Structure 1
Amino acid sequence: MRADPPPSRRTAGNRLLLAGAAAVSIAGVLLIGLGVSGALGGGAAPAPMAARQSRSPAASPKDLPGVRASKVAGPMRAARPTAVYIPSIGVAAPLMELGLDADGAIQNPPFNPPNLAGWYRYGPVPGQRGAAVITGHLDTRTGPAVFARLKEVKRGAQVQVLRADRSVAVFVVDKVEHAPKRGFPAKKVYAKLRYPGLRLVTCGGAFDRQAHSYEENTIVYAHLAAPYYPGR
């Protein structure tokens, strides 16, 4: 199963297809394609880029105090994201960098460990201006994965992204969208924002056994509400 490719351009030496993005899941495999997405069929998933992970995230993340949901903070300086925390649903996961495969689609995080999410490194860094994108699996063949409970996130919930300089970009959720695969809202997910934003994406809806794919995507939209620098 493939999506029709839209017009393309070159970005960082790779073929980056910007419009009409599609997200395809095969038995829980999440593949966010910037215009082109391919079913994995019987072959192996594209080899992920080397994961540059931080120390293990806290087992029980908590909301950081003093964060105002209505505030939109200015951009933070660039620093590589290393982990993502969503206290309201108990997510504390290391982040790996995701690039593009040979077809110009975002690579998948591996299935193991299941508690691993990926940041699209050709997009904005979480905390900087623009829509940073983090993806994760809904499940694996043996059980739930990192974003199994993403659909339970509520407006106003915190999403914390730990960064390599030890700062934390604290985002607040604006809305959660359940979009059909054939109507993936690419322009909103990869929007050119004037403020630091974040999108979390996974599969959702019913599983179509005939198509071997989930019928929807769950997408969380958030804005940067506060930068946090431990020790300051």
Structure 2
Amino acid sequence: MIDAPVAVPVPVAVAVRAGARRRAVAVLAALGALLALGSGLMAWSARPVQAAAPVPPAAPAAVDTPAAVDTAGGGAHAAVRVVDAAPGPALNVSGTGSSSLTVHFRELSGYRRVPAGAARLTLTREGSADLTVPVDMPPGGTVSVIVTGTATLTARVVVDGFTAPGPGRIAVRLIHAAEGVGPVSLVDAAGRRLGNPVGPGTVSSFVTVVPGSGTFGLRRLGATSDLAVIGQLDAPAGDAVGVLLSGGSGDAPVAAGWTVDAHGTPLPPVGPVRTGDIHATGVPLLSIAAFITAIAVVLIAVGVGAVAWSRRPTVIMILCCLVLVACSATGTGTARVGTRHAVNDHTATGGAPAPPVAAASPTMIPVPSASPPAEGTGRESATRPVGLILPGMPAPVPVVPLGLVGGDEQRGIRLPGAADGELATVPDGDTVGWYSGGPAPGEAGSAVLAGHVDLHRAPAVFAGLAGMTPGAEVTVLRADGARLVFTVDRLDAYPKSALPTGILYRPAPLPELRLVTCAGPVEGGTHRDDLIVSLSLRG
């Protein structure tokens, strides 16, 4: 026997359907609230974050002059040499390290690494009174002490101020140490004056010339013939050359000669170093968060309307509060992280911020079929760096060669907005890149290593670089098995839009190391500044 269907009273059926509707609306509103909360957290994670903030100096100085050098010592070092332009017996110099120097007439001593700060050099020579010379050794800088005179010695202290001369060129300056000779200029083979004339006891600013591009000479003001002929300056591209004019007293005739003062980079990169998280790459997180928030608000609005229709004011109030929380969570406030540290901040006078970075994906730089690099500086050289150990780091991080964007090297990526000729970017946050177009660590000159400060919203290999202090040690591992220890001399922060590449890739007489990463607040999708940590090889 078949049971007859049981009739459900109409009021009960209506109540069941109403309860189901309310449950569905509640689920819909809860889903909207969760979406709003999630989008708010996404927006918060995409907020602009400022990396360790540099400490502004009391009086900012121009970034391309010796006056910009901080004279605080601490654990920092400098380099000093003596130029003997005083006719007579050999000159003995003490105060430049554990042993004294002996320099002969018309000789330029090699540079010595000494502690930065105030120092006193004592010059002694047979037949002349001793001379004590106070010298202020700038951290990470180089100083020349030029000695002249016969019976009475005199000395002039010059901060060298080496800067990269540009692609395929050398930097040349005149050291005028001759007596009885007026102002003199450097001239080329056609008699054109290069730079301003300088008088006795002074040093000219650097001029750049193409190496091996003809003979050069020194000429007095108003003269039509050379006082001295130098010949061809065939130093390697990127180097700095000093022309010494001496003599003119006693039986020492006026004569000139040149020597390589510092070794540099033949093809220095241009523009900024891009080593921070590119926050505008791909689809911006803030755009995704805004889209999700819009969906969430619509869902919550549907839930609010439905509940309002069912006259549930308590639930309406709760949902409205959720809407307010979601809207406030999608704000983009700025947070500051990191600790204060001793950084020479050149950003105050460095010009406008870098332009916004276009939203695009990084591209790998193609591997070319180029001739092998020159021995001693290329990717396959035995002196190439393969590892780096930073303070507090238990194990070394790998180092890979980097080339130029649009150039002929290629273990790097081209970030959006990067121009040809810039230093390529390290492809990940756990690796450091070495510019293989310049000196290798341990060779005379400035070896440049670049690494990310953050990547994919997480700290990267150089996240702690801004916290380093003068005297801190960094170890470089090379392919030939050498372990080289460098110590920090100074930290400098510059805006990317005005990064002084002439200083970053400058020629140096001794082995130096530059560690570079991003710093400052995020503007236009990337960090505003570049941080340069300068180090010298421990003797």
Question: Into which bin does the TM-score normalised by the smaller protein fall?
Answer: 0.5 to 0.7
Please state if 1:46 is matched with 2:367. Answer: no
The equivalent position to 2:507 in structure 1, one of 192, 200, 205, is: 192
Please state if 1:221 is matched with 2:534. Answer: yes
Q: What is the deviation of 1:78?
A: 5.8
Q: What is the deviation of 1:144?
A: 0.9
- Mapping 1:32-111, distance limit 5 Å: 39=357, 41-47=359-365, 79-88=383-392, 92-102=396-406, 103-111=420-428
- Mapping 1:1-232, distance limit 5 Å: 9=167, 16=267, 21-24=271-274, 27-28=277-278, 39=357, 41-47=359-365, 79-88=383-392, 92-102=396-406, 103-111=420-428, 114-208=429-523, 211-226=524-539
Cα distance between partner residues in 2 of 1:165 and 1:38: 42
Distance 1:177 1:89, change over 3 A: farther
Instruction: Flag the structure with larger Rg.
Output: 2
Cα distance between partner residues in 2 of 1:144 and 1:46: 22
More helix by share: 2
Q: What is the deviation of 1:41?
A: 3.7
Distance 1:8 1:197, change over 3 A: closer
Alignment match, 1:33: none
Distance 1:115 1:193, change over 3 A: same
The question of whether the paired residues in 2 share the 8 Å contact of 1:197 and 1:224 is answered with yes
Cα distance between partner residues in 2 of 1:165 and 1:25: 28
- Matched positions, count: 180
Which residue identity lines up with residue 172 of structure 1 in the other structure?
A: T
Alignment match, 2:251: none
Divergent runs of 4+, >6 A: none
Q: What is the deviation of 1:201?
A: 0.2
Q: What is the deviation of 1:163?
A: 0.6
Alignment match, 2:178: none
Q: What is the deviation of 1:136?
A: 0.3
Alignment match, 1:69: none
Give CA-to-partner distance per residue, 1:25-46, whole Å, 9 cap, x none. 67348xxxxxxx9956403233
Which residue identity lines up with residue 448 of structure 2 in the other structure?
A: V
The question of whether the paired residues in 1 share the 8 Å contact of 2:452 and 2:517 is answered with yes
Which residue identity lines up with residue 464 of structure 2 in the other structure?
A: R
> Equivalent residue of 1:23, what SS?
coil
The question of whether the paired residues in 1 share the 8 Å contact of 2:276 and 2:454 is answered with no
Normalized against structure 2, the TM-score is what?
0.31
Q: What is the deviation of 1:101?
A: 2.1
Which residue identity lines up with residue 456 of structure 2 in the other structure?
A: R
Cα distance between partner residues in 1 of 2:166 and 2:431: 30
> Equivalent residue of 2:502, what SS?
helix
> Equivalent residue of 2:532, what SS?
strand
Give CA-to-partner distance per residue, 1:133-152, whole Å, 9 cap, x none. 00001111141111011100
The question of whether the paired residues in 2 share the 8 Å contact of 1:28 and 1:138 is answered with no
Q: What is the deviation of 1:23?
A: 3.0
Normalized against structure 1, the TM-score is what?
0.67
Q: What is the deviation of 1:181?
A: 1.7
Which residue identity lines up with residue 364 of structure 2 in the other structure?
A: P
Q: What is the deviation of 1:90?
A: 6.2
The question of whether the paired residues in 1 share the 8 Å contact of 2:277 and 2:452 is answered with no
Give CA-to-partner distance per residue, 1:46-73, whole Å, 9 cap, x none. 3386xxxxxxxxxxxxxxxxxxxxxxxx
Distance 1:83 1:100, change over 3 A: same
Name structure 2 gaps, 5 residues minimum.
1-164, 170-236, 238-265, 280-354, 368-380, 407-419
Cα distance between partner residues in 1 of 2:394 and 2:476: 14
Distance 1:115 1:101, change over 3 A: same
Percent identity of the aligned residues?
34
**Relative contact order higher in (CA < 8 Å, ≥ 6 apart):** 1
